[in-house]
Amino acid sequence: MNIKEVKELLTTPKNIVITAHKNPDGDAIGSSLALHHYLLSLGHQSTVIMPNEYPDFLKWIPGEEHIVKFSLDTPLAQSKIKEADLIFTLDFNLLSRSGEMENDLKSSNAVFLMIDHHQQPDDYAKFMFSDTTMSSTCQMIYHFIEKLDHLDMISAEIATCIYVGIMTDTGSFRFRSTTSTTHRVVADLIDKGADNTKIHENIYDTNTISRLQLKGVALNNLRVLPEYQVAYISLSQKELDQNKFKKGDTEGFVNFGLSIDGIKFAAIFIENKKDGIIKISLRSKGDFSVNEFSRDHFEGGGHHNAAGGKSNLSLSDTVDKFISILPSYKNVLNQ
Ligand code: 5GP
Ligand code: MN
């Protein structure tokens, strides 16, 4: 990204749209809102548009109440996209990840700016800040503001938004992508007013009894394939319904498998009858690339150690397909 040109672009007031990937997570919402507050304080018009709904535990992040959801408010979202001079796409790098917004984004004449930390970016954006070594898009927003010499403009609100995404994308500062720089950024965010204890509580202490019971079902369904160092969980639509499933309830479940001693590759398969798909989350430790595994077999992608994908087969056929692929990875997994 040519930061001088971006700085130049931002010297006059612009109509800006900020958007992130479908099924937005803490990093998607946190980075979008952090950038939104920053651009507003520079004197721009800014609208955050998310492709669809997101979990309740994200519905307190400063500015969240102004987010336009494309799937719920399509005409408004479409007119905002049409009017935009600049469109920031955050926490994704393939326009198809924006779900139903894809065609509106494609037909826009706006200048596109991508800020993202996923692998293998498409080249739809004039300005690309893509760095797969980054813990999170939120950390990149911090560095983006830093490059523009505006660290002093990071308010408590902005610091809070950025903290959320770093925390959620690093599994609370434990994944490999968490560097000493990440910790220095986080320390600065606390100095700037992010209330770290409160943020952890707002995101993680939001269980309901039915979510805990769904967790019980997931743990009961956990299977281990020791010969491949693999663990997986499946959840049927029926099991979700019986436990009053709400969006976000299965967040983090895929990590149960990975917490077993010796397991290097974990998966969860979640039936979604409405969309007619099985949603898949994949996690690994070490050298095994779930990004490539997902691209090759499940129409997905993501990061080296965390990726997602989908399947149009039934739940049990999807699990069978997964198990049938494993022998060709036996050597890599047992390395
Ligand atoms: P999760 O398993 O938490 O949904 O996603 C893990 C990572 O993979 C996230 O960074 C997410 O953006 C990415 N991801 C999830 N699903 C998909 C998908 O269907 N396609 C691609 N390209 N990336 C995905
Ligand atoms: Mn992210």
d(C-alpha 214, C-alpha 126), whole Å: 44
Q: What is the pLDDT of residues 187-205, one digit of tens each?
A: 999 999 999 999 999 999 9
- Report the top-level CATH class of 209-333: alpha beta
Ligand 1 center–CA 10 separation, angstroms: 31
The response to whether residue 303 sits with its C-beta less than 6 Å from ligand 1 reads yes
What is the helix (H) or strand (E) element at residue 159, kind and residue range? helix 156-169
pLDDT computed for residue 1 by the predictor: 84
Q: What is the pLDDT of residues 5-62, one digit of tens each?
A: 999 999 999 999 999 999 999 999 999 999 999 999 999 999 999 999 999 999 999 9
How many other CB atoms sit within 10 Å of the CB of residue 126? 16
Q: Residue 302: name the closest of 310, 291, 294 by CA.
A: 291
d(C-alpha 301, C-alpha 182), whole Å: 24
The response to whether residue 51 sits with its C-beta less than 6 Å from ligand 1 reads no
Topology of domain 3-204 in CATH is inorganic pyrophosphatase (n-terminal core) (3.90.1640)
Ligand 1 center–CA 251 separation, angstroms: 12
Q: What is the pLDDT of residues 150-189, one digit of tens each?
A: 999 999 999 999 999 999 999 999 999 999 999 999 999 9
The response to whether residue 26 sits with its C-beta less than 6 Å from ligand 1 reads no
Mean pLDDT of the region 218-233: 98
* Best residue for ligand 1 mutational test, from 97, 140, 250, 269 (most atoms within 8 Å of Cβ): 97
Residue with the nearest Cα to atom 16 of ligand 1? 308
Q: At 232, is the pLDDT very low, low, confident or very high (cuts 50, 70, 90)?
A: very high
d(C-alpha 278, C-alpha 235), whole Å: 10
pLDDT computed for residue 261 by the predictor: 96
The response to whether residue 30 sits with its C-beta less than 6 Å from ligand 1 reads no
Tell me: pLDDT of 103 over 90: yes
pLDDT computed for residue 226 by the predictor: 97
Q: What is the pLDDT of residues 115-152, one digit of tens each?
A: 999 999 999 999 999 999 999 999 999 999 999 999 99
Give the ligand 1 atom nearest the CA of 280. Answer: 2
Beta strands in 135-262 (DSSP E): 223-225, 230-235
Residue ranges per domain, the chain?
3-204, 209-333
The response to whether residue 302 sits with its C-beta less than 6 Å from ligand 1 reads yes
Q: What is the pLDDT of residues 262-290, one digit of tens each?
A: 999 999 999 999 999 999 999 999 999 99
The response to whether residue 310 sits with its C-beta less than 6 Å from ligand 1 reads yes
d(C-alpha 17, C-alpha 19), whole Å: 6
Instruction: State whether the Cα torsion 168-171-176-179 is positive or negative.
Output: positive
The answer to whether the beta carbons of residues 81 and 87 sit under 8 Å apart is: yes
Residues with CB under 5 A from ligand 2 (ion): 27, 91, 137, 169
